[in-house]
Amino acid sequence: MKITTYINDERKDFQVEPGEVLLDLLRREGYTSVKEGCKTGDCGACMVLVNGRAMTSCTLFVSQVDGKKVRTSEGLHDELAENLRKEFVEVGAIQCGFCIPGVLVSSYSLLTHNPDPTEEEIKAALDGNLCRCTGYVKQIEAIKNVARDFEGVSK
Amino acid sequence: MLKNVTEYHIPGSLDEALSLQDRESRSYFIAGGTGLALSNSNRPVELIDLGKLHLDELHLEDESGKLEIGATTKIQQLVELDELQDFAGGYLANNLEKVGSYPIRNAGTLGGSIVRPFPWSDVVPILLSLGAKIRYFDGTHGVRDLNNLYSDDFRETLRNSIVTGIEVDLPEVGETRGRFYKFSRSEFDIASLNLGCTLTALNGKITRARMAVGARPSFARRLTEVEDFLQGQSLENDLAEEATEMAADTAGVTGDRKMSKDYRLAQVRKMTEEALTGVIGDFLEQ
């Protein structure tokens, strides 16, 4: 089947298998920030924004993003995204880096919808992201630091 | 990836959607699609997308307490909707936030959570403990008690139906409050046991009680004997003790590799006691 989707603000037309999941399409098309981890919706390494909502791309059929906006970590370029990247590096919230694009997407989604989250809200937003080396303490600290200085971005 | 899927349909009406089902049951309805995407099953050959049927509407009648929610409504939408923040004292919105993780709730739908027969579902006991009914379409529109969801005859009906939504009728008088508990290894792991309870009270007496337990490890069920015992009683903390033993006797729990029968029974007792003392405490503090 044919679908049209808008990946990182760019219109894309694809011929896809209807039973294919979005993760496989994105990887095939070179969006390599989207990682294949568990492929069961548990680890969040394949996190993307679909119409502004964080979703695991391994649990979405490609057919379901027809006509929708998909944003991967590569497509996050505004001030908020840059601040998140910088802060993750500065506080040491990254080791192997495999989970980080997904964590950044979740963090970006949180701060876009809730610029002043509590620690509990940050933990809840990262509920769908697993990190097996750095852990979450530094990631939460980085998000808090960005939130403290954050003055809002357009959704 | 569902390797054998070759057709994808987007019907414009319920009748058209039903007509697209094939006789060999190799066509599958999807809304959020999360459950089916995870299955990696070779069985489906056709997907029928219910996303264009406008089954994502919500109606709440403030005066009667009647709530209707369309089947393709996303779980996270229900967590966030302003209209639901005070419904049953926030019971529905607050506890649906315990279902899965944020990204899964953003994709997963109410109907999908009901129709796929996962015994560990958190959605089903939350809805059962509100006394919810299920709405379906099998050529004509039908409504049935959600407590029948896992009965053989209703599963048969659902094979040739589309779940269109749920409805909850709270008593028109009195206030409703509830508690839901989930026991799992981590926040968004599947439950090893879950239990929900709502009480409606008027003038210090319980006028309606609904209690349900799931992940027993078998399918969720209502504890109607406990409900009957509670209805008509005065709101007093010592109710919890008797109801707790009754819940343990009637929950029908067994053991599995996640939890022994004795441990599950201990959890049923603890959750029942905390639920009842918590809800009764809420009423007494008012």
pLDDT of residue B273: 97
A130 part of contact set with chain B, CB < 8 Å: no
pLDDT of residue B185: 86
Asked whether residue A40 falls in the same domain as residue A105, the answer is: no
The distance of B8 to chain A (nearest Cα, Å) reads 6
**Residue B285 pLDDT > 70:** yes
Over residues B207-229, the mean pLDDT reads 96
Residue of B nearest to A51 (CA): B106
Residue of A nearest to B36 (CA): A59
Give the dihedral sign, CA A74/A54/A15/B5: positive
Closest CA to B275 of B151, B198, B179, B192: B179
Asked whether residue A61 falls in the same domain as residue A120, the answer is: no
Asked whether residue A60 falls in the same domain as residue A108, the answer is: no
The shortest CB-CB distance from A21 to any of B1, B4, B44 is to B1
The sheet with strand B46-49 has its strands ordered as B7-9, B46-49, B27-30
Q: What is the spatial distance between Cα B134 and Cα B213, in angstroms, rounded to a whole number? A: 18
Q: Are A70 and A30 in contact (CB under 8 A)?
A: no
In a domain, A154, yes or no: no
How much of chain B exceeds pLDDT 70, in percent? 100
- The set of residues, in sequence order, having a beta carbon less than 8 Å from that of B281 and lying 6+ positions away, is B237
Over residues B249-277, the mean pLDDT reads 96
User: Greater confidence, B23 or B176?
Assistant: B176
DSSP label at residue B90: G
Asked whether residue A62 falls in the same domain as residue A111, the answer is: no
Q: Strands (DSSP E) along A114-155, which ranges?
A: none
| φ/ψ (deg, to 5) at B176 | -115, 135
Q: Are A130 and A139 in contact (CB under 8 A)?
A: no
Q: What is the spatial distance between Cα A137 and Cα A123, in angstroms, rounded to a whole number? A: 10
Tens digits of per-residue pLDDT, B110-131?
999 999 878 889 999 999 999 9
What's the whole-model pTM score?
A: 0.94
Tens digits of per-residue pLDDT, B144-188?
999 988 888 888 888 889 999 999 999 999 999 999 999 998 877
Q: What is the spatial distance between Cα B267 and Cα B263, in angstroms, rounded to a whole number? A: 6
- At A65, which CATH number? 3.10.20.30
Asked whether residue A85 falls in the same domain as residue A145, the answer is: yes
Those residues of chain B whose CB sits closer than 8 Å to some CB in chain A are: 1-8, 30, 33-34, 36-38, 44, 47, 49, 51, 76, 97, 100-104, 106-107, 187-188
Q: What is the spatial distance between Cα A62 and Cα A4, in angstroms, rounded to a whole number? A: 10
In a domain, A121, yes or no: yes
In a domain, A18, yes or no: yes
Asked whether residue A140 falls in the same domain as residue A118, the answer is: yes
Among the three residues A47, A75, A103, which one is the final residue of a domain in this structure? A75
Question: Cβ A128–B188 below 8 Å, yes or no?
Answer: yes
Task: Quote the tokens at residue A23.
Answer: 């993760």
pLDDT of residue B64: 80
A36 part of contact set with chain B, CB < 8 Å: no
Asked whether residue A69 falls in the same domain as residue A83, the answer is: no
Residues of chain B with Cβ-Cβ distance to A17 below 8 Å are 1, 5
Asked whether residue A26 falls in the same domain as residue A91, the answer is: no
In a domain, A120, yes or no: yes
Residues of chain B with Cβ-Cβ distance to A61 below 8 Å are 30, 33, 36-37, 47
- The set of residues, in sequence order, having a beta carbon less than 8 Å from that of B91 and lying 6+ positions away, is B126, B130, B176, B177, B178, B179, B180, B198
- The set of residues, in sequence order, having a beta carbon less than 8 Å from that of A28 and lying 6+ positions away, is none
Pairing of strands B7-9, B27-30: unpaired
pLDDT of residue A151: 59
Q: Are B77 and A53 in contact (CB under 8 A)?
A: no
pLDDT of residue B23: 64
In a domain, A155, yes or no: no
Structural domain including A87 reads 79-149
Residue of A nearest to B7 (CA): A18
Q: Could you identify the residue written with the tokens 């109410």?
A: B110
| Average pLDDT across chain B, whole number | 93
Among the three residues A75, A93, A128, which one is the final residue of a domain in this structure? A75
Question: Cβ B37–A127 below 8 Å, yes or no?
Answer: no
Residue of A nearest to B31 (CA): A64
The shortest CB-CB distance from B103 to any of A21, A44, A63 is to A44
Asked whether residue A64 falls in the same domain as residue A26, the answer is: yes
Q: Which helix (H) or strand (E) holds B273?
A: helix B261-285
Give chain A's residues under pLDDT 50: 153-155
Q: How many A/B residue pairs have CB atoms within 8 Å?
A: 80
Tens digits of per-residue pLDDT, B68-108?
999 999 999 999 999 999 999 999 999 999 999 999 999 99
Pairing of strands B141-145, B162-169: unpaired
Asked whether residue A6 falls in the same domain as residue A70, the answer is: yes
Task: Quote the tokens at residue B267.
Answer: 């959890």
Asked whether residue A37 falls in the same domain as residue A55, the answer is: yes
User: Greater confidence, B269 or B64?
Assistant: B269
DSSP label at residue B45: -
How much of chain B exceeds pLDDT 90, in percent? 83
Structural domains counted in chain A: 2
DSSP label at residue B286: -
Confidence of residue B260 (pLDDT cuts 50, 70, 90): very high
Over residues B22-38, the mean pLDDT reads 87
pLDDT of residue A155: 37
> How much of chain A is helix, strand and coil, in % rounded to 5?
40, 15, 45
In a domain, A40, yes or no: yes
- At A132, which CATH number? 1.10.150.120
pLDDT of residue A154: 40
Asked whether residue A83 falls in the same domain as residue A140, the answer is: yes
- Could you tell me how many residues make up chain A? 155
Q: Are B216 and B119 in contact (CB under 8 A)?
A: yes
Closest CA to A40 of B276, B97, B35: B35
Predicted-complex ipTM score = 0.92
Among the three residues A35, A52, A75, which one is the final residue of a domain in this structure? A75
